[in-house]
Amino acid sequence: MPEHWKKGAEKEKWFKDWFGEYFGSEEDDLFAMAFQYVDQAPVKDDEGVPYAGDADFGPINPDGAEGADYRLEQSDFYDYLGIPYTFRDGTTIQPETARYRAMDCSGFIRTVFGYRARYPLRALDAKGDGLPRTANGMARSDLGTDVIPLTGKAPRYSRPASIDVLQPGDLVFFWLDARTKERLDHVGIYLGHDTDGHKIFISSREEVNGPTIGDKGGTSRLDGNGYYAKALRSAKRL
């Protein structure tokens, strides 16, 4: 979208113009882009830079073990691409060779929304007008609209009483690891309903080593009482 989403935006001229131009478009949307990084997705190349294709979560953690921090976090879109990137504030970050073709959960969101769909990005979680680096930074930023606000007492906060307000494309945030204390530590993209009518999401996960809607490490459903459903804490619409 050309402007930040807010309640009632569907009635404004900019939204009507944008919707009229892109309604029925066969260009890749956010969902098509997201699935271009799942297991065995084919490589897409632009002038020698593979910008899509099967992505890892991160390099193996030398101090980790299966089911216990086996892979390292902190892989962003520029690591996946293997090229330096200069942000809007002039900050340039170099990729790490060990993280080539990898993106953690927030790196996946920044790849899809930012690098691919051109939503503004900031280098870190520091204040700015772009999408922050981490899940916690995204959840607590003033970008977009908090369709499910964070409620309850830290560090666990409260599970939402209802998630009916969710729409496909919303960012969903989770509190999974008590070691992160009050920080929300996982983020995904809400996709809508599966063939059984359950609300599902896609995210990059250590257990699968990359983006997935699979159930390894936790069912990818937001309703019911599965691992991720019970850990859901808030949602944002950009």
**pLDDT of the residue at 116:** 96
Answering whether pTM is above 0.75, one says yes
Domains of the chain: 26-237 (3.90.1720.10)
Reported as a single tens digit per residue, the pLDDT across 118-142 is 999 999 998 778 999 999 999 999 9
Reported as a single tens digit per residue, the pLDDT across 59-96 is 999 888 877 788 999 999 999 999 999 999 999 999 99
Reported as a single tens digit per residue, the pLDDT across 28-42 is 999 999 999 999 999
217 has a pLDDT exceeding 90 = no
Write the DSSP string, 67-113.
TBS-B-----HHHHHTS-EE-TTS-EEPPPGGGTTB--HHHHHIIII
3-class DSSP state for residue 193? strand
Reported as a single tens digit per residue, the pLDDT across 154-211 is 999 999 999 999 999 999 999 999 999 999 999 999 999 999 999 999 999 999 999 9
User: Rounded to 5 degrees, what are φ and ψ at 235?
Assistant: -150, 150
